[in-house]
Structure 1
Amino acid sequence: MKRLTLSRRRLVTAAASIVAVVALASFAVTWPSLNKQDGEEKNHERASDAGQSADIAPNTQASGASAAPAAVRLVQAAKSQGYKPIAESKYLTLEADEANGHFIVTDKRTGHRWKSYPEEKGYRENENQGKWKANLQSPLMFSYVEFNVRRDLAKESNLLDEKGIVSSFEATDRGFKIQYEIPDLGFVIPAEVRLGDDYVETRILKDGLKDERTYTEEELAAKKDKGARLVSVRLYPFLGAQTSEEENGYLLLPDGSGAIVEFKQERGGTNNYYSEQVYGADWAYSANSSFSIRNPVRMPVFGIKAGEQAIIGVISGGSEYANIVAAPSKTFSQYNWITAEQNFRFKYYQYTNTKKTTGFVSFTKDLIASDRSTRYYPIARKDAEYAQMAARYREYLTDELGKLPLQTADGKIDLQLHLLGADSERGFLKDSYLPLTTTRQAEEIVQELNTLGIDRMSITYLGWQRNGYSRYGGSLPLSSKLGGNEGMKQFADFAHAKGYRVYLDGSSYSYNNTGRDGFRRSRDGLRDIGAAVMEFNSRGGDDKKTFVSPRFAEKVILDDLKVAQTLHVDGYAFGQGIGALLNTDFNEKYTATREETKQIQQLILETTKETLGHVQVAEGNGYTLPYVNHIQGLDDDISGDLFVDRQVPFMQIALHGLVTYSANYANDSDDYETTFLKGIEYGAVPSFVITHAPSQQLLKTRSLGQFYSTGYKDWLQEMVLQYQRFNEALGDVQDRFITDHRSLADGVYETTYSGGKRIVVNYNAEPYEGNGWTVKPKDFAVVS
Structure 2
Amino acid sequence: MLQVNKKVINKIISASLITVLSAGVAVNGSYLNTNRDTRKAPERSKSAMSVSSAFEKIYESDKVAYYYREDRDIFAIEDKATGYVWKTGLDVPFKKQVEDAKDAVNGEGHYTVERLAEKWKMTKVQVREIANTPIEESMNEQYTGIANSLISIECFKGSGESMTTTTYASASYDDKDGDSSLEEVSGSNGKQWKLNAVFDKAEIGVEVMITLGDDGSINYNIPYDGISGKGIKKLSSISITPFLGASGGVQTVYNEKEKDWTDLQKKYLTPGYVFVPDGSGSLIRFAENTSKFSDYTGDVYGSDLSSYMYYYSALDDSVPLEDPVMPVFGVSQGDGTQSAFVAYADSGDEFMTIIATPSSTDKNKIRYTYAYPKFSYNTEFYQVTNQAGDAYRKTQDKANEFDIDMTYDFLYGDGSNGEPAADYTGMAKAYREHLIEEGILTVKEDEEGDIPMRIDFLMSDSKKGVFGTQEVAVTTTDDVKKILDKLIGDGITNINSGLMGWQKNGETLAKPSDWKFSKDIGKKGKFKDLMKEFSEKGIDISFSRDFVSINSKMINYYGNAAKHLNTQYLTVDKSKVLPENSPVTDFSFALPTKSANWLTSLYERISDYNNSITVKGISNTLLSSHSSTGPTTTVTQAINLYEKAFEKIKKNGATVNMDSPNQYLWKYTDRYLQSPVGTSQYVYETDSVPFLQMVLNGTMEVYAPYSNFSFYSQADMLKMIDYNISPSFVLTQKPSYLLASTTSCDYYSTEFDQYEDLINTIYTTVNDVLSKVKGCEWIGRKVLDDGVIANEYTSNDGEKTVIINYTDEEVTINGESVPAQSAAVIEGGVN
- Which band: TM-score by shorter chain? 0.7 to 0.9
| CA offsets 1:414-460 (integer angstroms, 9 cap, x no match) | 11110111112442333222222212221111111111111201111
Match of residue 767 from structure 1 = 810
- What pairs with 1:448-459 in structure 2 (closer than 5 Å)? 448-459=486-497
Match of residue 116 from structure 1 = 88
2:764 partner SS = helix
| 2:195 corresponds to 1:178 | yes
Shift of 1:124: 5.5
User: How many percent identity over aligned positions?
Assistant: 23
2:52 partner SS = helix
Match of residue 587 from structure 2 = 545
Instruction: Give the Cα separation in 1 of the matches to 2:527 and 2:91.
Output: 62
Match of residue 410 from structure 2 = 378
Q: Which of 132, 137, 158 does residue 127 from structure 1 map onto?
A: 137
> Does the 8 A contact of 2:72 with 2:91 survive in 1?
no
- What pairs with 1:351-750 in structure 2 (closer than 5 Å)? 351-356=384-389, 358-382=390-414, 384-473=422-511, 474-515=513-554, 519-537=555-573, 539=578, 543-567=585-609, 569-576=610-617, 578-587=618-627, 588-589=629-630, 591-669=632-710, 672-699=713-740, 701-750=741-790
**Structure 1 pair 228/425, CA: closer, same or farther in 2 (3 Å)?**
closer
> Does the 8 A contact of 1:656 with 1:735 survive in 2?
no
Instruction: Give the Cα separation in 2 of the matches to 1:603 and 1:346.
Output: 28
1:406 partner SS = coil
In the alignment of these two chains, the number of paired residues is 687
Tell me the amino acid that sits aligned with residue 230 of structure 1.
L
Instruction: Give the Cα separation in 2 of the matches to 1:277 and 1:379.
Output: 26
Match of residue 77 from structure 2 = 105
Unaligned runs of 5+ in 1: 1-32, 41-57, 59-81, 214-226
**Structure 1 pair 520/150, CA: closer, same or farther in 2 (3 Å)?**
closer
User: Larger relative CO (CA 8 A, sep 6+): 1 or 2?
Assistant: 2
- What pairs with 1:251-270 in structure 2 (closer than 5 Å)? 251-264=274-287, 266-268=288-290, 270=292
> Does the 8 A contact of 1:272 with 1:643 survive in 2?
no
Match of residue 234 from structure 2 = 229
Instruction: Give the Cα separation in 2 of the matches to 1:532 and 1:613.
Output: 36
1:680 partner SS = helix
> Does the 8 A contact of 2:500 with 2:543 survive in 1?
yes
Instruction: Give the Cα separation in 1 of the matches to 2:452 and 2:477.
Output: 20
> Does the 8 A contact of 1:462 with 1:504 survive in 2?
yes
| CA offsets 1:16-57 (integer angstroms, 9 cap, x no match) | xxxxxxxxxxxxxxxxx99xxx424xxxxxxxxxxxxxxxxx
> Does the 8 A contact of 1:304 with 1:311 survive in 2?
yes
1:192 partner SS = strand
Instruction: Give the Cα separation in 2 of the matches to 1:116 and 1:104.
Output: 7
Instruction: Give the Cα separation in 1 of the matches to 2:377 and 2:214.
Output: 30
Tell me the amino acid that sits aligned with residue 324 of structure 1.
I
> Does the 8 A contact of 1:151 with 1:362 survive in 2?
no
Unaligned runs of 5+ in 2: 1-48, 94-131, 249-266, 415-420
1:379 partner SS = strand
Tell me the amino acid that sits aligned with residue 331 of structure 2.
I
> Does the 8 A contact of 1:738 with 1:753 survive in 2?
yes
Shift of 1:303: 0.5
| 2:135 corresponds to 1:94 | no
> Does the 8 A contact of 1:119 with 1:242 survive in 2?
no
Q: Which of 256, 265, 272 does residue 294 from structure 2 map onto?
A: 272
Instruction: Give the Cα separation in 1 of the matches to 2:559 and 2:652.
Output: 29
**Structure 1 pair 164/488, CA: closer, same or farther in 2 (3 Å)?**
same
Instruction: Give the Cα separation in 1 of the matches to 2:134 and 2:538.
Output: 65
Instruction: Give the Cα separation in 2 of the matches to 1:416 and 1:236.
Output: 43
Instruction: Give the Cα separation in 2 of the matches to 1:184 and 1:439.
Output: 68
Shift of 1:537: 4.3
Shift of 1:599: 1.5
Instruction: Give the Cα separation in 1 of the matches to 2:150 and 2:462.
Output: 58
Tell me the amino acid that sits aligned with residue 749 of structure 1.
I
> Does the 8 A contact of 1:205 with 1:370 survive in 2?
yes
Tell me the amino acid that sits aligned with residue 567 of structure 2.
A
Match of residue 66 from structure 1 = none
> Does the 8 A contact of 1:285 with 1:349 survive in 2?
no
Instruction: Give the ranges of 4+ consecutive aligned residues of structure 1 lying more than 6 Å apart after TM superposition.
Output: 119-123, 289-292
Match of residue 189 from structure 1 = 206
TM-score after normalising by structure 1: 0.82
| CA offsets 1:519-556 (integer angstroms, 9 cap, x no match) | 53122211011111123346467543332111012222
Instruction: Give the Cα separation in 2 of the matches to 1:606 and 1:247.
Output: 46
> Does the 8 A contact of 1:327 with 1:336 survive in 2?
yes
TM-score after normalising by structure 2: 0.78
> Does the 8 A contact of 2:283 with 2:688 survive in 1?
yes
Tell me the amino acid that sits aligned with residue 152 of structure 2.
M
**Structure 1 pair 465/615, CA: closer, same or farther in 2 (3 Å)?**
same
Instruction: Give the Cα separation in 2 of the matches to 1:259 and 1:208.
Output: 35
> Does the 8 A contact of 1:98 with 1:169 survive in 2?
no
Instruction: Give the Cα separation in 1 of the matches to 2:412 and 2:688.
Output: 24
1:615 partner SS = strand
Tell me the amino acid that sits aligned with residue 85 of structure 1.
I
| 2:347 corresponds to 1:347 | no
2:558 partner SS = helix
Instruction: Give the Cα separation in 2 of the matches to 1:150 and 1:186.
Output: 23
1:207 partner SS = helix
Shift of 1:742: 2.4
**Structure 1 pair 245/428, CA: closer, same or farther in 2 (3 Å)?**
same
Range with greater deviation from structure 2 (735-744 or 394-403): 735-744
> Does the 8 A contact of 1:768 with 1:774 survive in 2?
yes
Tell me the amino acid that sits aligned with residue 528 of structure 1.
H
Shift of 1:470: 1.7
Shift of 1:119: 6.4
